[in-house]
Amino acid sequence: MRMRARAATHPICDACARSDDYMDECHASSVYVSFADCDRRRRHRDTLDFVLGVVDFRRGRRLPKLVVEMLRYVGHVTAAASTAVMAVAWTSAVSFDSSIVDADGVSSWLQNKSSQAQKMAEARSAAALSFHLTHDGVSVSYDQELLRDIWHAFSRGHKRRIARFKNDFVTGIFPASTTSFALTVLLFMAVAMLGLDISFGVVPWVQSHIFYYVLGDGKISHAVASGVCGAIIWFLGIQVIRLSLKMLLSYKGWMYESAHLGKISMPTLIWLKILHLISRSQPMLHSFQGALPHLPLPSLDQTLKTHLRSIRPFYSDEEYAEIAELSEKFRKGIGQRLQRYLTIKSWLSINYVTDWWEEFVYLRQRSPIMVNSNYYGFDTLYEPPTTKQAARAANITWAALQFRRMVERQEVTPFSISPRYKVPFCTMQYERLFNSCRIPGEETDTLKRWDDVQHIAVYHKGCWYRMPIHSGKRLLDPPELQLAFQSIIDGSHEPAAGERDLAALTAGDRIPWAKARKEFFSNGINKTSLHCIEKAAFCVILDEEPVYYDPKDPSKLDRWAHILLHGNANNRWFDKSFNFCVSTNARVGVNTEHSWGDAAVTAHFVEYCLLKDLYLQAYDAEGNTVGSAQVTIVPERLQWELNSEVCLTFFKSSFFYKSTQRWNEGALS
């Protein structure tokens, strides 16, 4: 729709035409704006109702400054809206009705709102594309380097999606391969071209009932039908093989036999030989995931019998007799119906207890997870090859990122927990090792995981930082990470009010933490900073004291264990999947949240990191990381607006916080 602006019809435009409020003659454009009445504006909290239309502006009309100010405000509010407005404004003009528009009032309103939106725009000052509406038209500026980084980020995400699809397809057809698929299809097509039929009449039927109506009854139709039938037969064969593999893995006799004692039966020996043969196919991380057997469901009688036997030592004869009587009533009553429900659930899931165990044992636990749920892991007890905290933190971070990349590419072997016997285990927990965090709730917590995270969270001397781990093209190398860690250690930042004790919220009771998160971290800068910590790949804690191991003084090892388990109750983000804790003398440990996975996965991960750190990557003669930095990164200081007194009331009431503080005071005195 095109409209022609007339000064006679619109007095405000006629008045502006005789003033300096119009720009010089141009071929730019404007927007037709209609403002609602004051009552409606108040109901909508002073939100303008913009109605966009296109007005012909090719006969000497000029653009008012009021519209320029308006469009600048829109550009401050959102870059997308600004782009849309300027696209409409490219070949049009403006018309105002003076009966409903107060130019001075609107201009003042826009200036006030623009000053508020300017704070939001400052964070976008480094945008790759910038649009500015001036009196001479629309000015577009761009940064080639930033545009290049955007392209690299887009292509990286695209490649990751393709790689994930490829890996999922390969693991879904294991132990077969894509090569077997191609050979099967080509074999069927070659045989069909020779005039033979090895499909027992399937290919002629498919050709006559499907491809005849598209390709006719020639050789091309026959070849395509043969290829499709070959693909279907290959797929059915793969399903039979995977079902056979599932039946093979259902064997449990190996659990009760030990190779160290030399007591291995012939069935177990044959079973292990078959697994070793399958392992030569180089399975990926999740290759066996769809072939794992279902967790067997015991009968109701067996469950009650085991339950009574397990509680017998803890009760007197009278108490035990009462419980046995109640168990019998349960068996004859509601127990049978519940057993039927459980049977149905076991048919519909691989492990009927996993989701309930995770929810009711971990996530619904309302007591503090510090000490009660989280666990810790030690560094090697030998003296580390460096005493530089930044160097050790850089190497261990780099090793962890290498392991994360292996998990993403499914390059971790599924036999990691039992490499000798080649017995595959469930590998689901590896996916939740990185980029995950436990989110508090008043009734139950939730476990959240993000994809393709490119930063870690770092804590030092009461301050939290967001540290990039990717240059836009590759993962950062250890020397580059060391410089970033060293800049944090050498920095002179002071923690904001309440920031030093912020992590203690994750150490206390879950309900106060959930209420505090909802009240103080649901919007604004607090929400942004908290999201950076929760979304991080993991946390690195740069502690402020050294730790030691002395065989003649067990108290030093005890002190180290206490530091890793709970620290000061305010210098570990206990909700994070794991925290690497690096002491001032370059000793490393890990504090791990328990709901996402078990210690076997953590132990495998930490052993890999230590091997990579101490022996494969190592350090130079001065204790620095090996190599030279090609990229310099600057960690971002997270900002907070906290009321320290209010926040302290949420966690200082925790028994574990108080007891930990008392222990630390006694240990340091």
Q: Is the pLDDT of residue 1 over 60?
A: no
Q: Write the Ramachandran bin of 461: left for phi over 0, alpha for psi from -120 to 50, otherwise beta.
A: left
| Residue-wise burial string across 448-458, b where 16 or more C-beta atoms lie within 10 A, e elsewhere | eeeeebebbbb
Average pLDDT over residues 87-101: 36
| pLDDT at residue 107, as a whole number | 45
Please tell me the distance from the alpha carbon of residue 562 to that of residue 581, in angstroms, as a whole number. 12
Please tell me the distance from the alpha carbon of residue 547 to that of residue 96, in angstroms, as a whole number. 73
- Whether 358 maps to a domain, the answer reads no
Regarding whether 279 and 156 lie in a shared domain, the answer is yes
Question: Which string of DSSP letters, residue by residue, matches 457-515?
Answer: EEEETTEEEEEE-B-SSSBPPHHHHHHHHHHHHH----PPTTTTTGGGGGTS-HHHHHH
Q: Is the pLDDT of residue 220 over 80?
A: no
What's the pLDDT band for 653 if we cut at 50, 70, 90?
low
Average pLDDT over residues 608-628: 90
Phi, psi of 505 (to 5 degrees): -60, -35
Please tell me the distance from the alpha carbon of residue 598 to that of residue 569, in angstroms, as a whole number. 23
Q: Sort strands 129-134 and 137-142 into parallel, antiparallel or unpaired.
A: antiparallel
Give the tokens for residue 592.
């791990």
Q: Contact 188/230 with Cβ under 8 angstroms?
A: yes
| pLDDT at residue 256, as a whole number | 83
DSSP state of 22: B
- Give the 3-state DSSP-derived string for 66-77, with helices as H, strands as E and coil as C: HHHHHHHHHHHH
Contacts of 604 (CB under 8 A, 6+ apart): 416, 417
Regarding whether 485 and 549 lie in a shared domain, the answer is yes
pTM metric for this prediction: 0.74
Question: Which string of DSSP letters, residue by residue, matches 342-384?
Answer: HHHHHHHSS-TTHHHIIIIIIIT--S-STTTT-EEEPPPSSPP
What's the pLDDT band for 147 if we cut at 50, 70, 90?
confident
- Whether 330 maps to a domain, the answer reads yes
Q: Is the pLDDT of residue 497 over 90?
A: no
Regarding whether 520 and 663 lie in a shared domain, the answer is yes
Q: For the packed helices 317-332 and 300-311, what is the interaxial angle rounded to 10 degrees?
A: 170
For residue 132, the SS3 value is strand
Q: Is the pLDDT of residue 423 over 80?
A: yes
pLDDT digits (tens, 9 = 90+) for 498-531: 888 889 889 988 998 998 898 889 888 999 999 9
Where among 287, 315, 331 does a domain terminate? Answer: 287
> Which of 121-125, 217-221, 493-497, 589-593: highest mean pLDDT?
589-593
What's the pLDDT band for 214 if we cut at 50, 70, 90?
confident
The residues annotated as belonging to the active site are 594
| pLDDT at residue 88, as a whole number | 35
| pLDDT at residue 327, as a whole number | 93
Regarding whether 315 and 238 lie in a shared domain, the answer is no
Question: In the Cβ-directed half-sphere of 587, how many Cα atoms lie within 13 Å?
Answer: 23
Give the tokens for residue 268.
């177990």
Please tell me the distance from the alpha carbon of residue 107 to that of residue 66, in angstroms, as a whole number. 6
* CATH number of the domain where residue 601 is located: 3.30.559.70
| pLDDT at residue 159, as a whole number | 81
Regarding whether 103 and 15 lie in a shared domain, the answer is yes
Q: Contact 49/36 with Cβ under 8 angstroms?
A: yes
Average pLDDT over residues 321-332: 93
Looking at every residue in the chain, the average pLDDT score rounds to 77
Residue identified by tokens 């026959």 is 222
| pLDDT at residue 464, as a whole number | 95
Regarding whether 270 and 196 lie in a shared domain, the answer is yes
- Whether 510 maps to a domain, the answer reads yes
Where among 287, 311, 333 does a domain terminate? Answer: 287
Regarding whether 159 and 136 lie in a shared domain, the answer is no
Number of domains the chain contains: 4
Q: Contact 538/575 with Cβ under 8 angstroms?
A: no
What's the pLDDT band for 142 if we cut at 50, 70, 90?
low
What's the pLDDT band for 540 if we cut at 50, 70, 90?
very high
Please tell me the distance from the alpha carbon of residue 53 to that of residue 55, in angstroms, as a whole number. 6
pLDDT over 70, % of the chain: 76
Average pLDDT over residues 276-298: 88
| pLDDT at residue 536, as a whole number | 95
Task: Point out the least confidently predicted range of 45-54, 68-77, 399-408, 551-560.
Answer: 45-54
Give the tokens for residue 183.
């050979």
Regarding whether 163 and 35 lie in a shared domain, the answer is no
Q: Is the pLDDT of residue 433 over 50?
A: yes
| pLDDT at residue 644, as a whole number | 57
According to DSSP, the residues that pair with 463 across neighbouring strands are 460
Q: Is the pLDDT of residue 5 over 60?
A: no
DSSP state of 641: -
Regarding whether 168 and 69 lie in a shared domain, the answer is no
Give the range of the structural domain holding residue 316, as residue numbers without chain letter: 300-349
Q: Is the pLDDT of residue 216 over 70?
A: yes
DSSP state of 419: T
Q: Is the pLDDT of residue 145 over 90?
A: no
pLDDT over 90, % of the chain: 35
| pLDDT at residue 311, as a whole number | 92
Which has more confidence, 250 or 37? 250
Please tell me the distance from the alpha carbon of residue 20 to that of residue 22, in angstroms, as a whole number. 5
| pLDDT at residue 382, as a whole number | 87
Please tell me the distance from the alpha carbon of residue 581 to that of residue 503, in angstroms, as a whole number. 14
Please tell me the distance from the alpha carbon of residue 136 to that of residue 662, in angstroms, as a whole number. 69
- Whether 591 maps to a domain, the answer reads yes
For residue 583, the SS3 value is coil
- Whether 71 maps to a domain, the answer reads yes
Instruction: For residue 331, count other CB atoms closer than 10 A to its CB.
Output: 16
Where among 81, 113, 142 does a domain terminate? Answer: 142
Give the tokens for residue 561.
């264990």
Which has more confidence, 469 or 65? 469
pLDDT digits (tens, 9 = 90+) for 228-246: 888 888 999 999 998 999 8
Regarding whether 325 and 224 lie in a shared domain, the answer is no
pLDDT digits (tens, 9 = 90+) for 334-365: 999 999 999 999 888 888 888 899 999 999 99
Give the tokens for residue 460.
């030092």
- Whether 586 maps to a domain, the answer reads yes
Q: Is the pLDDT of residue 69 over 70?
A: no
| pLDDT at residue 666, as a whole number | 52
Q: What is the arrangement of strands in the sheet containing 636-637, beginning at the earlier edge strand? A: 375-377, 588-592, 578-582, 539-542, 455-460, 463-468, 636-637
Q: Contact 633/467 with Cβ under 8 angstroms?
A: yes
Phi, psi of 599 (to 5 degrees): -70, -25
Task: Point out the least confidently predicted range of 265-269, 318-322, 401-405, 601-605.
Answer: 265-269
User: Of 483, 529, 522, nearest to 635 (Cα)?
Assistant: 483
Give the tokens for residue 135.
């009196």
Angle (CA) 344-345-351 rounded to 5° is 135
Position 572: which residue type? R
| pLDDT at residue 457, as a whole number | 96
Which has more confidence, 541 or 10? 541
Q: Write the Ramachandran bin of 458: left for phi over 0, alpha for psi from -120 to 50, otherwise beta.
A: beta
Q: What share of the chain is helix, strand, coil (3-state, %, to 5)?
A: 50, 10, 40
| pLDDT at residue 100, as a whole number | 37
Regarding whether 100 and 196 lie in a shared domain, the answer is no
Regarding whether 566 and 540 lie in a shared domain, the answer is yes
Average pLDDT over residues 216-231: 81
Q: Is the pLDDT of residue 397 over 50?
A: yes
